[in-house]
Amino acid sequence: MRLFNLAFGTGRGRRVAAALALLLVAGGAGCRPASDAGPGAPLFAVTIPPLGAFLRPIVAGRAEVVVLLPAGASEHTYEVKPNDARAAARAVALVYVDESLDGWASRLDARARLRLADFLSPDSLRHYEGSGAFDPHVWLDPAVMRAALLRTIAALSKLDPAGAEIYRRNGEAFSIELTRLDEELAQQLAPLRGRAVVQFHPSLFYFLERYGIRTAGVIENIAGQDPSPKQIKMLADLVRAEKVEVIVTEPQLSDAPVRALAEAAGVRIAHMDPLGGVPGRETYAELLRYNADALLKAFP
Ligand SMILES: [Zn+2]
């Protein structure tokens, strides 16, 4: 493996270099998607918008990123389209999270495949209670993603050696940005530490646990139907026993049953978004800040 000097944040020269690199990243991020890469630039295809948000700052100025999953679609059940096959075939690599999340990527032919799960640090992964299965919704914890940077950069550089220096420099700046973002959110969300939510789609554990917010329960996706008496009772019991104050919902889930359930149990709703990919939630920082704001607005 190549040597990547990512010893961040030491020495004045390094800080100046990092500041310059940050400017570069900021310049690239303004004209999405990485159109500053120029004609003939290498292309990376990614399955879901947050993977695009993670990759773009690393490849800015060198490669383009195309996201396959359209906004509003489920990352679990998406059906690939002819367009996706064309993009995957053109790409240097197809980047996905894990077979247990966006396994539909395996239906696309690609020159190379990069699996985010291979880049994650094993001790940063959480497992679902009960089943013990690995929770693949890893991307909303900036510390988890920061720990994945080094291996991600190594993999990109192996596929595109001419971009290695750019990836290394961009990655260093992005690492600093992730650390700052994490500190900012920890401070902002400090008043919510120890307080409890209920999730529908169990996609937000990494974010919530990172900032000390408890998930008292997960109520199975009620797919557009009115909440059942059993679900209402389950939530009411949790509200009493665990002091649940907020139900977390997502744009991918229908709103009416969530509202009915929240009203019946006397809790509030946080409209969070694990995927983003729409204006205002496109960059990694935008997506995380959006989710922090949604929680802060919802808690009484
Ligand atoms: Zn999911």
Q: Give the E-state strand segments of the chain in sequence order.
A: 43-46, 64-67, 93-96, 113-115, 196-199, 214-218, 244-249, 268-271
Burial (CB count <10 Å: 0-12, 13-18, 19+), residue 271: middle
pLDDT of 14? 40
Ligand 1 centre distance from Cα of residue 59 (Å): 26
3-state secondary structure of 111: coil
**Residue 24 tokens, joined:** 């570069």
What secondary structure does DSSP assign to 115-135, as a single string?
A: EHHHHS-GGG--B-TTT--B-
Residue pair 218/199 in contact (Cβ under 8 Å)? The answer is yes
pLDDT of 8? 36
* pTM, to two decimals: 0.86
Ligand 1 centre distance from Cα of residue 101 (Å): 7
For residues 164 and 26, give the distance between their C-alpha atoms in angstroms, rounded to a whole number. Answer: 19
**Residue 239 tokens, joined:** 């509200």
Ligand 1 centre distance from Cα of residue 76 (Å): 6
pLDDT of 222? 54
Domain 189-298 sits in CATH at 3.40.50.1980
pLDDT of 220? 72
Ligand 1 centre distance from Cα of residue 163 (Å): 32
pLDDT of 13? 40
Q: What are phi and psi of 239, to 5 degrees?
A: -60, -45
Measured over the CA atoms of residue 272, residue 273, residue 279 and residue 282, the dihedral's sign is positive
Ligand 1 centre distance from Cα of residue 238 (Å): 23
| Residue 222 DSSP label | -
Q: In whole angstroms, how far apart are CA 212 and each of 217, 231, 249?
A: 15, 25, 18
For residues 196 and 239, give the distance between their C-alpha atoms in angstroms, rounded to a whole number. Answer: 9
**Residue 18 tokens, joined:** 């990092």
CA angle 264, 238, 244 (to 5 degrees): 80
Smallest CA-to-CA distance from 217 within 204, 199, 229 is with 199
Q: Give the E-state strand segments of 47-103 in sequence order.
A: 64-67, 93-96
Ligand 1 centre distance from Cα of residue 269 (Å): 19
Residue pair 211/189 in contact (Cβ under 8 Å)? The answer is yes
3-state secondary structure of 15: helix
Ligand 1 centre distance from Cα of residue 66 (Å): 20
Ligand 1 centre distance from Cα of residue 283 (Å): 19
pLDDT tens track, the chain, 300 positions: 333 334 333 333 444 344 444 433 333 333 344 446 777 899 999 999 999 999 999 999 999 999 999 998 989 999 999 999 999 999 999 999 999 999 999 999 999 999 999 999 998 899 988 888 999 999 999 999 999 999 999 999 999 999 999 999 999 999 999 999 999 999 999 999 999 999 988 899 999 999 999 999 988 755 556 778 888 888 889 999 999 999 999 887 778 888 888 998 899 999 999 999 999 999 999 999 999 999 999 998
pLDDT of 144? 97
For residues 230 and 227, give the distance between their C-alpha atoms in angstroms, rounded to a whole number. Answer: 8
Ligand 1 centre distance from Cα of residue 172 (Å): 29
pLDDT of 211? 98
Ligand 1 centre distance from Cα of residue 207 (Å): 13
Ligand 1 centre distance from Cα of residue 125 (Å): 15
**Extents of the domains making up the chain:** 12-181, 189-298
- Tell me the fold of 12-181: Rossmann fold (3.40.50)
Q: Is there a common fold for 12-181 and 189-298? A: yes
pLDDT of 283? 98
pLDDT of 17? 42
Ligand 1 centre distance from Cα of residue 277 (Å): 15
Tens-digit pLDDT profile for residues 150-194? 999 999 999 999 999 999 999 999 999 999 999 999 999 999 999
